[in-house]
Amino acid sequence: MTNQNQTTYSAANIVNYYEQLQLLQPAEKIILERLRPQLSTMDMLDIGVGGGRTTQHFAPLVKSYVGIDYSAAMIEACKRRFEQSQTRFNFSVGDARNMAEFADNSFDFILFSFNGIDYVDHGDRLKIFQEIKRIGRPNCYVLFSSHNLQVMEKGFQWRTKISFNPLNTYTNLVMLALLKLCNLSITQKKLASSKYLIIRDESHNFRLKTYYIRVQDQVLQLEKSFNNVEVYSWQSGLEIKDNHDRALTADEWLYYFCEIR
Ligand SMILES: C[S@@+](CC[C@H](N)C(=O)[O-])C[C@H]1O[C@@H](n2cnc3c(N)ncnc32)[C@H](O)[C@@H]1O
Protein backbone atom coordinates (compact mmCIF):
# COMPACT_ATOMS: atom_id res chain seq x y z
CA MET A 1 0.00 0.00 0.00
CA THR A 2 2.61 2.51 1.11
CA ASN A 3 4.91 2.10 -1.91
CA GLN A 4 2.05 2.65 -4.33
CA ASN A 5 0.94 5.76 -2.44
CA GLN A 6 4.51 7.09 -2.22
CA THR A 7 4.92 6.64 -6.00
CA THR A 8 1.65 8.52 -6.56
CA TYR A 9 2.79 11.40 -4.33
CA SER A 10 6.02 11.59 -6.33
CA ALA A 11 4.27 11.97 -9.74
CA ALA A 12 4.91 15.36 -11.35
CA ASN A 13 1.24 16.27 -11.92
CA ILE A 14 0.35 15.49 -8.31
CA VAL A 15 3.31 17.47 -6.95
CA ASN A 16 2.25 20.40 -9.16
CA TYR A 17 -1.27 20.20 -7.73
CA TYR A 18 -0.08 20.43 -4.09
CA GLU A 19 2.49 23.11 -4.95
CA GLN A 20 -0.23 25.53 -6.05
CA LEU A 21 -2.48 25.10 -2.99
CA GLN A 22 -2.58 28.28 -0.89
CA LEU A 23 -5.40 28.44 1.66
CA LEU A 24 -5.66 26.97 5.12
CA GLN A 25 -8.67 24.75 5.74
CA PRO A 26 -11.19 26.21 8.26
CA ALA A 27 -10.15 23.90 11.12
CA GLU A 28 -6.48 24.73 10.54
CA LYS A 29 -7.33 28.46 10.71
CA ILE A 30 -9.13 27.98 14.02
CA ILE A 31 -6.18 26.13 15.56
CA LEU A 32 -3.68 28.64 14.19
CA GLU A 33 -5.62 31.47 15.88
CA ARG A 34 -5.86 29.50 19.09
CA LEU A 35 -2.10 28.83 19.17
CA ARG A 36 -1.07 32.23 17.79
CA PRO A 37 -0.08 33.74 21.18
CA GLN A 38 2.33 30.84 21.80
CA LEU A 39 3.62 30.11 18.29
CA SER A 40 6.69 32.35 18.55
CA THR A 41 8.02 30.09 21.33
CA MET A 42 7.36 26.85 19.49
CA ASP A 43 9.54 24.40 17.55
CA MET A 44 7.21 23.07 14.86
CA LEU A 45 7.34 19.92 12.70
CA ASP A 46 5.10 19.78 9.60
CA ILE A 47 4.89 16.11 8.53
CA GLY A 48 3.76 15.30 4.97
CA VAL A 49 4.30 18.95 4.11
CA GLY A 50 3.46 18.28 0.43
CA GLY A 51 3.91 21.41 -1.68
CA GLY A 52 4.09 23.72 1.35
CA ARG A 53 0.46 24.87 1.63
CA THR A 54 0.68 25.10 5.43
CA THR A 55 4.28 26.37 5.48
CA GLN A 56 3.41 29.88 4.34
CA HIS A 57 0.88 30.30 7.18
CA PHE A 58 2.70 28.67 10.11
CA ALA A 59 6.45 28.89 9.40
CA PRO A 60 6.80 32.72 9.69
CA LEU A 61 5.08 32.63 13.11
CA VAL A 62 7.00 29.86 14.91
CA LYS A 63 10.42 29.81 16.59
CA SER A 64 11.69 27.06 14.27
CA TYR A 65 10.06 25.17 11.41
CA VAL A 66 10.89 21.82 9.77
CA GLY A 67 8.82 20.29 6.96
CA ILE A 68 9.31 16.64 6.00
CA ASP A 69 7.74 14.43 3.35
CA TYR A 70 8.52 10.92 2.09
CA SER A 71 8.16 12.22 -1.46
CA ALA A 72 11.50 13.74 -2.52
CA ALA A 73 9.65 15.57 -5.33
CA MET A 74 7.40 17.32 -2.78
CA ILE A 75 10.45 18.45 -0.79
CA GLU A 76 12.07 19.79 -3.97
CA ALA A 77 8.85 21.73 -4.64
CA CYS A 78 8.95 23.25 -1.12
CA LYS A 79 12.59 24.24 -1.55
CA ARG A 80 11.70 25.98 -4.83
CA ARG A 81 8.62 27.66 -3.38
CA PHE A 82 10.38 28.99 -0.27
CA GLU A 83 13.81 29.65 -1.79
CA GLN A 84 13.89 33.12 -0.18
CA SER A 85 13.27 31.74 3.32
CA GLN A 86 15.56 28.69 3.19
CA THR A 87 17.75 29.91 6.02
CA ARG A 88 14.76 29.95 8.41
CA PHE A 89 12.54 27.15 7.09
CA ASN A 90 14.00 23.65 6.85
CA PHE A 91 12.77 20.94 4.48
CA SER A 92 14.01 17.38 4.26
CA VAL A 93 12.93 14.01 2.93
CA GLY A 94 11.67 11.93 5.85
CA ASP A 95 9.18 9.18 6.60
CA ALA A 96 6.76 9.61 9.51
CA ARG A 97 7.04 5.90 10.35
CA ASN A 98 10.66 6.31 11.37
CA MET A 99 11.78 9.82 12.30
CA ALA A 100 15.14 8.72 13.74
CA GLU A 101 16.64 11.98 12.43
CA PHE A 102 14.87 13.78 15.32
CA ALA A 103 15.90 13.37 18.95
CA ASP A 104 13.33 12.63 21.67
CA ASN A 105 11.45 15.71 22.97
CA SER A 106 12.29 17.97 19.99
CA PHE A 107 9.00 19.71 19.15
CA ASP A 108 6.18 21.77 20.72
CA PHE A 109 3.75 21.50 17.80
CA ILE A 110 3.44 18.67 15.27
CA LEU A 111 1.14 18.97 12.25
CA PHE A 112 0.28 16.16 9.79
CA SER A 113 -2.26 17.95 7.66
CA PHE A 114 -4.79 17.19 4.94
CA ASN A 115 -5.05 13.46 5.73
CA GLY A 116 -1.36 12.65 5.10
CA ILE A 117 -1.49 10.03 7.86
CA ASP A 118 -4.10 8.06 5.87
CA TYR A 119 -1.59 6.76 3.31
CA VAL A 120 -0.04 4.03 5.45
CA ASP A 121 -1.59 0.82 6.79
CA HIS A 122 -2.96 0.37 10.31
CA GLY A 123 0.28 -0.94 11.87
CA ASP A 124 2.30 1.91 10.38
CA ARG A 125 -0.31 4.45 11.54
CA LEU A 126 0.19 3.27 15.13
CA LYS A 127 3.99 3.49 14.62
CA ILE A 128 3.54 7.10 13.46
CA PHE A 129 1.64 7.99 16.64
CA GLN A 130 4.45 6.40 18.69
CA GLU A 131 7.07 8.38 16.77
CA ILE A 132 5.09 11.60 17.24
CA LYS A 133 4.90 10.87 20.96
CA ARG A 134 8.66 10.25 21.12
CA ILE A 135 9.80 13.39 19.29
CA GLY A 136 7.20 15.72 20.81
CA ARG A 137 7.79 17.31 24.21
CA PRO A 138 5.32 16.70 27.06
CA ASN A 139 2.16 18.74 26.24
CA CYS A 140 3.30 19.11 22.60
CA TYR A 141 0.25 19.98 20.48
CA VAL A 142 -0.62 17.54 17.69
CA LEU A 143 -2.98 18.39 14.83
CA PHE A 144 -3.85 16.06 11.96
CA SER A 145 -6.84 15.12 9.85
CA SER A 146 -8.20 11.76 8.76
CA HIS A 147 -10.92 10.38 6.47
CA ASN A 148 -14.31 9.56 7.93
CA LEU A 149 -15.50 5.97 7.42
CA GLN A 150 -19.08 6.89 8.38
CA VAL A 151 -19.38 9.08 5.28
CA MET A 152 -17.77 6.49 3.02
CA GLU A 153 -20.29 3.90 4.26
CA LYS A 154 -23.03 6.06 2.71
CA GLY A 155 -20.85 6.70 -0.35
CA PHE A 156 -21.16 3.02 -1.29
CA GLN A 157 -25.00 3.18 -1.37
CA TRP A 158 -26.58 3.87 -4.78
CA ARG A 159 -29.59 5.60 -3.14
CA THR A 160 -27.34 8.47 -2.07
CA LYS A 161 -26.38 9.04 -5.73
CA ILE A 162 -29.84 9.94 -7.05
CA SER A 163 -30.56 13.64 -7.57
CA PHE A 164 -33.13 15.75 -9.48
CA ASN A 165 -30.53 16.44 -12.14
CA PRO A 166 -30.28 13.38 -14.45
CA LEU A 167 -26.73 14.29 -15.54
CA ASN A 168 -25.55 14.46 -11.93
CA THR A 169 -27.26 11.15 -11.19
CA TYR A 170 -25.54 9.55 -14.19
CA THR A 171 -22.09 10.90 -13.18
CA ASN A 172 -22.62 9.83 -9.55
CA LEU A 173 -23.60 6.31 -10.58
CA VAL A 174 -20.58 5.96 -12.89
CA MET A 175 -18.29 7.08 -10.02
CA LEU A 176 -20.02 4.59 -7.70
CA ALA A 177 -19.47 1.79 -10.23
CA LEU A 178 -15.75 2.70 -10.42
CA LEU A 179 -15.52 2.86 -6.62
CA LYS A 180 -17.04 -0.61 -6.32
CA LEU A 181 -14.82 -1.98 -9.10
CA CYS A 182 -11.69 -0.65 -7.36
CA ASN A 183 -12.78 -2.13 -4.01
CA LEU A 184 -14.25 -5.51 -4.88
CA SER A 185 -13.69 -6.97 -1.41
CA ILE A 186 -15.59 -4.18 0.34
CA THR A 187 -19.22 -5.06 0.96
CA GLN A 188 -21.88 -2.98 2.71
CA LYS A 189 -21.70 -5.45 5.60
CA LYS A 190 -17.93 -5.00 5.89
CA LEU A 191 -18.34 -1.21 5.81
CA ALA A 192 -20.97 -1.33 8.54
CA SER A 193 -18.96 -3.60 10.85
CA SER A 194 -15.44 -2.13 10.46
CA LYS A 195 -13.79 0.41 12.73
CA TYR A 196 -11.39 1.32 9.94
CA LEU A 197 -10.82 0.26 6.32
CA ILE A 198 -8.36 0.84 3.51
CA ILE A 199 -10.30 2.11 0.47
CA ARG A 200 -9.26 3.16 -3.06
CA ASP A 201 -11.34 6.33 -3.28
CA GLU A 202 -11.75 8.67 -6.23
CA SER A 203 -9.04 11.14 -5.21
CA HIS A 204 -6.26 11.36 -7.79
CA ASN A 205 -8.24 9.02 -10.09
CA PHE A 206 -8.41 6.07 -7.71
CA ARG A 207 -4.62 5.81 -7.51
CA LEU A 208 -4.35 6.05 -3.71
CA LYS A 209 -5.17 3.50 -1.05
CA THR A 210 -6.60 5.50 1.83
CA TYR A 211 -7.28 4.71 5.49
CA TYR A 212 -10.80 5.60 6.65
CA ILE A 213 -11.78 5.47 10.34
CA ARG A 214 -14.91 6.12 12.39
CA VAL A 215 -14.63 9.30 14.45
CA GLN A 216 -15.19 7.61 17.80
CA ASP A 217 -12.62 4.91 16.99
CA GLN A 218 -10.05 7.55 16.08
CA VAL A 219 -10.72 9.28 19.40
CA LEU A 220 -10.24 5.97 21.27
CA GLN A 221 -7.04 5.25 19.30
CA LEU A 222 -5.67 8.64 20.37
CA GLU A 223 -6.81 8.57 23.98
CA LYS A 224 -4.35 5.72 24.67
CA SER A 225 -1.38 8.11 24.29
CA PHE A 226 -2.70 11.67 24.07
CA ASN A 227 -4.61 14.07 26.32
CA ASN A 228 -7.46 16.50 25.60
CA VAL A 229 -8.50 14.97 22.27
CA GLU A 230 -10.74 17.39 20.34
CA VAL A 231 -12.53 16.84 17.01
CA TYR A 232 -13.13 19.59 14.42
CA SER A 233 -15.22 19.72 11.27
CA TRP A 234 -12.83 20.38 8.38
CA GLN A 235 -15.57 22.34 6.57
CA SER A 236 -16.87 24.68 9.23
CA GLY A 237 -13.85 24.57 11.53
CA LEU A 238 -16.26 24.11 14.45
CA GLU A 239 -15.47 21.71 17.26
CA ILE A 240 -17.72 18.62 17.41
CA LYS A 241 -17.96 17.73 21.09
CA ASP A 242 -20.98 15.51 21.41
CA ASN A 243 -20.60 11.76 20.70
CA HIS A 244 -23.95 11.71 18.89
CA ASP A 245 -22.86 14.58 16.60
CA ARG A 246 -19.51 12.86 16.00
CA ALA A 247 -21.33 9.70 14.90
CA LEU A 248 -23.53 11.66 12.47
CA THR A 249 -21.16 14.24 11.00
CA ALA A 250 -21.17 14.42 7.21
CA ASP A 251 -17.59 15.73 7.01
CA GLU A 252 -15.49 13.65 4.64
CA TRP A 253 -12.56 14.16 6.97
CA LEU A 254 -12.13 15.55 10.48
CA TYR A 255 -9.34 17.37 12.25
CA TYR A 256 -8.06 15.92 15.53
CA PHE A 257 -6.26 18.18 18.00
CA CYS A 258 -4.62 16.76 21.12
CA GLU A 259 -1.62 17.00 23.44
CA ILE A 260 1.15 14.51 24.11
CA ARG A 261 0.78 12.93 27.54
C1 LIG B 1 -2.76 14.92 0.84
S2 LIG B 1 -1.09 15.40 0.82
C3 LIG B 1 -1.11 16.85 1.83
C4 LIG B 1 0.07 17.77 1.59
C5 LIG B 1 0.11 19.00 2.50
N6 LIG B 1 0.22 18.66 3.91
C7 LIG B 1 -1.11 19.87 2.31
O8 LIG B 1 -1.89 19.98 3.26
O9 LIG B 1 -1.29 20.43 1.23
C10 LIG B 1 -0.36 14.19 1.88
C11 LIG B 1 1.16 14.28 1.96
O12 LIG B 1 1.63 13.37 2.97
C13 LIG B 1 2.82 12.75 2.50
N14 LIG B 1 2.98 11.49 3.24
C15 LIG B 1 2.14 10.43 3.25
N16 LIG B 1 2.63 9.45 4.04
C17 LIG B 1 3.80 9.92 4.54
C18 LIG B 1 4.78 9.37 5.42
N19 LIG B 1 4.67 8.13 5.91
N20 LIG B 1 5.85 10.13 5.75
C21 LIG B 1 5.98 11.39 5.24
N22 LIG B 1 5.11 11.94 4.37
C23 LIG B 1 4.03 11.21 4.04
C24 LIG B 1 2.59 12.60 1.00
O25 LIG B 1 3.79 12.42 0.28
C26 LIG B 1 1.88 13.91 0.68
O27 LIG B 1 2.77 14.93 0.32
pLDDT in tens, 123-144: 999 999 999 999 999 999 999 9
In this prediction, residues 57-77 reach a mean pLDDT of 98
pLDDT interval class at 176 (50, 70, 90): confident
Kindly tell me if the per-residue pLDDT of 50 is higher than 90: yes
Give pLDDT, residue 171.
Answer: 87
Residues 124 and 18 placed together within one structural domain of the fold: yes
Range of the domain at 159: 151-200
Residue whose CA lies nearest to ligand 1 atom number 14: 48
Question: pLDDT > 90: what percent of the chain?
Answer: 87
Specify the pairing of strand 226-233 against strand 107-112.
Answer: unpaired
d(CA 233, CA 191): 22
Range 142-164 average pLDDT: 91
Q: Is the pLDDT of residue 97 over 90?
A: yes
| 207 inside domain | no
Distance CA 54, CA 31 (A): 12
70 pocket-lining for ligand 1 (C-beta < 6 Å): yes
Mark whether 79 and 110 lie in a shared domain. yes
| Co-location of 176 and 248 in the same domain | no
- Does the residue 209 lie in any domain? no
Q: Backbone phi, then psi, for 119, in 5-degree steps?
A: -105, 20
**Are 39 and 157 part of one and the same domain?**
no
Structural domain count of the chain: 2
| pLDDT, average across residues 182-199 | 95
pLDDT digits (tens, 9 = 90+) for 212-241: 999 999 999 999 999 999 999 999 999 999
Looking at every residue in the chain, the average pLDDT score rounds to 95
Same domain, 141 and 155: no
Residue 221: the pLDDT is 94
Asked if residue 86 has pLDDT above 80, the reply is no
Domain match, 86 and 122 both:
yes
- Ligand 1 centroid to 96 CA: how many Å? 9
- 182 in the same domain as 100: no
> CATH no. for residue 80?
3.40.50.150
Q: 232 with 117, same domain?
A: yes
Q: Is residue 57 part of a domain?
A: yes
- 97 Cβ inside 6 Å of ligand 1: yes
**1 pLDDT above the threshold of 80:** no
> Are 15 and 126 within one domain?
yes
Residues 156 and 233 in one domain: no
Distance 164 CA to ligand 1 centre (A): 37
Does residue 184 belong to any structural domain of this protein? yes
Report if residue 98 sits inside a domain. yes
Q: Are residues 40 and 118 in the same domain?
A: yes
pTM for this entry = 0.95
State the closest ligand 1 atom to the C-alpha of 25, by its place in the atom list counted from 1: 8
User: Same domain for 180 and 236?
Assistant: no
Q: What is the mean pLDDT of the segment spanning 37-41?
A: 98
The larger pLDDT score, comparing residue 168 to residue 26, is at: 26
pLDDT on residue 57: 98
Cα–Cα–Cα angle for 132, 210, 222, rounded to 5 degrees: 35
**Mean pLDDT for the stretch of residues 19-23:** 97
**For residue 128, is it within any domain?**
yes
Higher pLDDT, 166 or 48: 48
Residues 25 and 34: their CA atoms lie apart, in Å, by: 14
Dihedral of alpha carbons 100, 60, 12, 29, sign: positive
Q: How far is the CA of 250 from the centre of ligand 1 (A)?
A: 23
In a domain, 206, yes or no: no
Instruction: Examine residue 208 and state whether it is found in any structural domain, yes or no.
Output: no
